[in-house]
Structure 1
Amino acid sequence: MSNEHPSAAPSTTPGAGPRGPVDSSRVPRYAGPATFARLPRLDEVGRTDIAVVGVPFDSGVSYRPGARFGGNAIREASRLLRPYNPAQDASPFALAQVADAGDIAVNPFSIEEAVETVEAAAGELMASGTRLVTLGGDHTVALPLLRAAARRHGPVALLHFDAHLDTWDTYFGAEYTHGTPFRRAVEEGVLDTSALSHVGIRGPLYGRKDLDDDEKMGFGIVTAADVMRRGVDEVADQLRARIGDRPLYVSIDIDCLDPAHAPGTGTPEAGGMTSRELLEILRGLAGCNLVSADVVEVAPAYDHAEITAVAASHTAYELTTLMARQIAAGQGTGGTSAAAG
């Protein structure tokens, strides 16, 4: 797999069906290159409806580093994913062309340059209507990805799964860090402030002002305790009502999960959601206009038996399935549907 992402070029074989994963009955799951879900590379298919792309960057972290290795850890864990998703009654890789677009190579010594590189590369991939599922990397990368999404779709609704608000102003005077992307996104006007939600928030804060500032930006909060008390169906209903038919960006910091389910992350907090709760809430978003998503903050150096990477791979799979179902149904804004071809 190249360190540079290939661009999403138009299909050279109109009418051809999607090219799916390697057949595990012929090639063992542990053999061959670790693309996401053993899917083809983007340069092998020539065009794609959904691109899975890595951003190996963690220069914006405030505590434990290592998320630069998260994308490839998720890819390795995704070898076990199978082509039919019974929870959504869909075969996503048959409904739409999904391909691994490799990694966006960014400068590890300049956060500002890295942000610009990610924005430009994401914009190039999205230019033909391709949806992105980005594997991080730290949460700094959400800002340039949101910029690229908003350039194509206008201000987007945001559903943000995290233990932390990530709407702080600066760290050590730095405006671009993994704790500040959504404040910057609000300031830059790339978010639809009538449809902003955090899910999974918990843990200590610096002060009450953190919550007051967040509320002024337009965010609603569903805490991890709310998910536990109210249940996933009620939470998903609330989120769908808030999102409506707006173009939706879903950003998932894996530390929204309890450390029992995701130990391999940079800033763990006790009392989080289970992986089952996260997956069920995502499945409850069926019908939303999901245009782009990320799964970030997987730090494999702290992962035990790939617990975190496995959870992240299934999370990315559910997001991909949601997008593929939407493309096949001709809903929302996205790539050229392989099913329609």
Structure 2
Amino acid sequence: MQLSEPIGPVDASVVPRFAGIATFARLPRLDQVDRADVAVVGVPFDSGVSYRPGARFGPSHVREASRLLRPYNPAQDVSPFAVQQVADAGDIAVNPFNIDEAVRDIEAGALELAEKADKIVTIGGDHTIALPLLRAVTKKHGPVAVLHFDAHLDTWDTYFGAPITHGTPFRRASEEGLIDLTASMHVGTRGPLYDVGDLEDDKRLGFAIVTSEDIEERGVEVAIERIRTRIGDKPLYISIDIDVLDPAHAPGTGTPEAGGLTSRELLRMIRALSDRNIVGADVVEVAPAYDHAQLTAVAASHVAYDLISAMAPRG
């Protein structure tokens, strides 16, 4: 924690919410504080997508939609910007033409940022970025439990021979020993697969699954209990592809699938993790070109807000 009082958002009674520079939740920039407990950083990269592009514009879109976030979170009974210093670290600029170089740049940027902030919440960008972010976080914490909210498994092997894309980060992470094979889980997966072998591979790679159908049939509370039991007290990295939400709640994404979660269900599950050791998180795959009335960006900004709230110290 900071020795001085944290600097919070711009006062909306002084500067209207629609005015000024759009940092996340109108928080100070990282260069305006001595150090941050939590840094919010963008990674505007989408060269790993397999269908609709556009997530490179996600960080700025989510920041714009975060202007209406307020300092007190009643659902978690915490003021996340008052009990910890949260700051916007801008974007990690990476090569849009070379995936391998971009992945190295993201890892290096995350490691550099970790010297100034204890935890990082990243706004993507496509899901490719989860691999270098996990590489960076495990240098400090060792293998982590990965809680992956997504319509898709993202444990496929290659696309067109490319080993690192937005559909492969958790296969590579498992192969590299970055994840705890006893404590990791997908939540919200649904839709067609290539073959039943996809599920067999996924289990071998260390993931349990709570599908969207499981949540519909058994309810959110049962899903929460399964998640908490699986994670235990392990260091936890949360990776959220916004397409875990139904397209009715998040149309602005690259690979939408019918039958997804509601934003209320997703937020409820995040809030149930506030007593866990969350060491990092990302929110990815927001593609503004397909968004309507900022539906997707508003959902993503609230997801990031509740992640930051869940990271806040209690007591």
The answer to whether TM tops 0.5 is yes
Does residue 254 of structure 1 match 2:245? Answer: no
Residues 42-65 of structure 1, C-alpha deviations (whole Å, 9 max, x = no match): 001121000000000000000000
Residues 276-309 of structure 1, C-alpha deviations (whole Å, 9 max, x = no match): 0000010111211000000000000000100000
Give the distance between the partners of 2:68 and 2:118, measured in 1 at CA.
25
Give the distance between the partners of 2:117 and 2:110, measured in 1 at CA.
11
Q: Residue 175 of structure 1 aligns to a residue in which SS?
A: coil
CA contact (8 A) 1:37 1:75 kept: yes
Match of 1:315 in 2: 303
Residues 115-134 of structure 1, C-alpha deviations (whole Å, 9 max, x = no match): 00000111111235610100
CA contact (8 A) 1:237 1:284 kept: no
Give the distance between the partners of 1:127 and 1:112, measured in 2 at CA.
24
Match of 2:30 in 1: 42
CA contact (8 A) 2:9 2:27 kept: yes
Match of 1:165 in 2: 153
Match of 1:186 in 2: 174
Match of 1:227 in 2: 215
Give the distance between the partners of 1:307 and 1:278, measured in 2 at CA.
15
Q: 1:64 aligns with which of 41, 52, 56?
A: 52
Return the letter of the residue paired with 1:171.
Y
Match of 1:90 in 2: 78
Give the distance between the partners of 2:195 and 2:212, measured in 1 at CA.
19
Give the distance between the partners of 1:245 and 1:148, measured in 2 at CA.
20
Q: Residue 308 of structure 1 aligns to a residue in which SS?
A: helix
Please list every run of 5 or more consecutive structure 1 residues that lacks an aligned counterpart in the other structure.
1-10, 330-341
Q: Percent of counterpart pairs with the same letter?
A: 70
Number of residue equivalences: 315
Return the letter of the residue paired with 2:88.
D
Does residue 126 of structure 1 match 2:114? Answer: yes
Give the distance between the partners of 1:113 and 1:83, measured in 2 at CA.
38
Give the distance between the partners of 2:198 and 2:226, measured in 1 at CA.
23
Return the letter of the residue paired with 2:236.
L
Does residue 244 of structure 1 match 2:210? Answer: no
Q: 1:267 aligns with which of 238, 249, 255?
A: 255
What is the TM-score when the length of structure 2 is the normalising length?
0.98
CA contact (8 A) 1:233 1:284 kept: no
CA contact (8 A) 2:27 2:88 kept: yes
Q: Residue 159 of structure 1 aligns to a residue in which SS?
A: strand
Match of 1:300 in 2: 288
Q: What is the Cα deviation at residue 236 of structure 1?
A: 1.1
Please provide the CA RMSD for this pair: 1.1
CA contact (8 A) 2:145 2:179 kept: yes
Q: 1:75 aligns with which of 46, 63, 76?
A: 63
Return the letter of the residue paired with 2:9.
P
Q: Residue 97 of structure 2 aligns to a residue in which SS?
A: coil
CA contact (8 A) 2:35 2:117 kept: no
Return the letter of the residue paired with 1:72.
S
Give the distance between the partners of 1:214 and 1:288, measured in 2 at CA.
24
Give the distance between the partners of 1:126 and 1:250, measured in 2 at CA.
17
What is the TM-score when the length of structure 1 is the normalising length?
0.91
Please list every run of 5 or more consecutive structure 2 residues that lacks an aligned counterpart in the other structure.
none
CA contact (8 A) 1:167 1:214 kept: yes
Give the distance between the partners of 2:20 and 2:174, measured in 1 at CA.
42
Give the distance between the partners of 1:166 and 1:105, measured in 2 at CA.
24
CA contact (8 A) 1:262 1:303 kept: yes
Q: 2:15 aligns with which of 11, 16, 27?
A: 27
